[in-house]
């Protein structure tokens, strides 16, 4: 539940309580999350037509600002923008002015001088999207496409959208998030979205070295053992083992990780028989997930990608209309 006080303090909402930027799922009221999911439902129909396009954002310019490598997220944002008839410009920052020393805010100022209406930002620093949102004129909308270890709200929204498609009611689900919680902005955004939508039991399953301190404060149940953690679970949300974010050796080896935390058919059998398996991609097969599970009939990993486009179309059109 929310009240006027938290609404006005939320940098994502305008004074009418409408979504102005999408920076994090933390603190977003359930009605806003549900409005995004419901709108995305209509866009799924659009993406299944012969003409997969609507004229909603015709004449708007959307800049994809990726300071960190990404294939799927950048591509699905690009497709989403194009299916809304927006003009989309992709900036590969590693190969641009930032390598010549330009600051982040100078970069976005220059782009907004080109009449940008919306920025989709991915950055390795937590808080980068917030910084840009505070800096820009209010009519320019910011979508956080992943900032450091902090948040990745559209991924979490497409995950809950996928869950709702296969499991109708959030209020009687047991969900387990498995793997590298410590480095995962996806896990943080998932936990906030799931708890706001009323999922009564969210578990995290990970070795102690891959859990943030005091993770229980997010309202999750902590398990270090898959056998206990997966019992009676409806939804398994696997995370990628983020080798590029490993500052020090937190694991003996990826083989040992697979032995204890890799999702195999045998471990999956501990969950409910109709449990579904999600993964945000890119997958490390044989590290956090076995190929037999990734390609198996309980996997909804490819539908997640398809739904990701509809969810991003919903977010973009709600922001542009606020």
Partner 1 sequence: MQLPDAEHLLANLTERVRHDLGPNTALVGIYTGGVWLAERLHQNLQLSLPLGTLDVSFYRDDFGQIGLHPQIRPSDIPFKVEGSHIVLVDDVLYTGRTIRAAINELFDYGRPASVRLAALIDRGGRELPMAAQYVGTVLDVPSDKMLALEKSAEGKLSLSLYDKRRDNE
- Give me the least distance between CB of 60 and partner 1, in Å please: 10
Stretch that binds partner 1, among 34-42, 187-195, 205-213, 261-269 (CB under 8 A): 34-42
- Give me the least distance between CB of 258 and partner 1, in Å please: 41
Burial zone of 320 (CB within 10 Å; 0-12 exposed, 13-18 middle, 19+ buried): middle
- Give me the least distance between CB of 51 and partner 1, in Å please: 4
Q: 3-state SS of the chain: helix, strand, coil percent to 5?
A: 45, 15, 40
What angle is formed at CA 156 by the lines to CA 260 and CA 275, rounded to 5 degrees?
A: 50
Strands (E), 171-245: 174-178, 201-205, 221-223, 235-238
Q: DSSP state, 51?
A: S
Q: Tell me if 72 contacts partner 1 by CB under 8 A.
A: no
Q: Tell me if 111 contacts partner 1 by CB under 8 A.
A: no
- Give me the least distance between CB of 30 and partner 1, in Å please: 14
Residues 80 and 70: their CA atoms lie apart, in Å, by 16
In the list 1, 5, 49, 100, the residue contacting partner 1 (rule: CB under 8 A) is 49
Q: Is the peptide bond before 203 cis (omega within 30 degrees of 0)?
A: no
- Give me the least distance between CB of 50 and partner 1, in Å please: 7
> Which residue in 313, 211, 207 sits closest to 256, CA to CA?
207
In the list 6, 8, 42, 172, the residue contacting partner 1 (rule: CB under 8 A) is 42
Stretch that binds partner 1, among 2-10, 54-62, 113-121, 137-145 (CB under 8 A): 54-62
In the list 46, 79, 270, 305, the residue contacting partner 1 (rule: CB under 8 A) is 46
In the list 3, 5, 50, 244, the residue contacting partner 1 (rule: CB under 8 A) is 50
Residues 81 and 88: their CA atoms lie apart, in Å, by 6
Which residues form the interface with partner 1 (CB under 8 A)? 18, 35, 38-39, 41-42, 44-46, 49-51, 53-56, 317-318, 320-322
């Amino acid at each position: 539940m929310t009240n006027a006080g938290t609404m006005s303090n939320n940098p994502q909402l305008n004074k009418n309580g409408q979504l102005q930027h999408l920076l994090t799922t933390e603190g977003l009221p359930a009605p806003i999350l549900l409005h995004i999911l419901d709108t995305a439902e209509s866009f799924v129909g659009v993406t299944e037509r012969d003409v997969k396009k609507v004229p909603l954002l015709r004449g708007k310019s959307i800049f994809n600002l990726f300071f960190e490598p990404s294939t799927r997220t950048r591509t699905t944002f690009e497709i989403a923008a194009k299916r809304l008839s927006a003009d989309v410009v992709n900036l590969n920052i590693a190969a641009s002015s930032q390598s010549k020393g330009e600051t982040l805010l100078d970069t976005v100022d220059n782009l907004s001088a080109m009449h940008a209406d919306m920025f989709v930002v991915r950055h390795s620093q937590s808080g980068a999207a917030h910084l840009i949102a505070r800096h820009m004129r209010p009519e320019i909308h910011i979508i956080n496409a992943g900032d450091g270890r902090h948040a990745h709200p559209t991924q979490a929204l497409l995950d809950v959208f996928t869950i709702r498609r296969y499991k109708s009611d959030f209020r009687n689900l047991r969900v387990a998030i498995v793997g590298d919680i410590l480095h995962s902005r996806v896990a943080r955004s998932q936990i906030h979205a799931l708890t706001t939508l009323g999922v009564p039991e969210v578990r995290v399953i990970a070795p102690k070295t891959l859990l943030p301190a005091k993770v229980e404060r997010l309202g999750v149940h902590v398990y270090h053992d898959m056998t206990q953690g997966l019992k009676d679970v409806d939804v398994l949300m696997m995370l990628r083992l983020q080798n590029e974010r490993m500052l020090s050796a937190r694991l003996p080896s990826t083989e040992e990780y697979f032995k204890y935390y890799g999702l195999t058919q045998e471990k999956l059998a501990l969950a409910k028989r109709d449990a579904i398996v999600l993964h945000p991609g890119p997958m490390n097969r044989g590290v956090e997930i076995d190929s037999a599970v990734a390609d198996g009939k309980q996997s909804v990993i490819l539908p997640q990608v398809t739904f990701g486009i509809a969810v991003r179309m919903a977010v973009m059109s709600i922001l542009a209309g606020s």
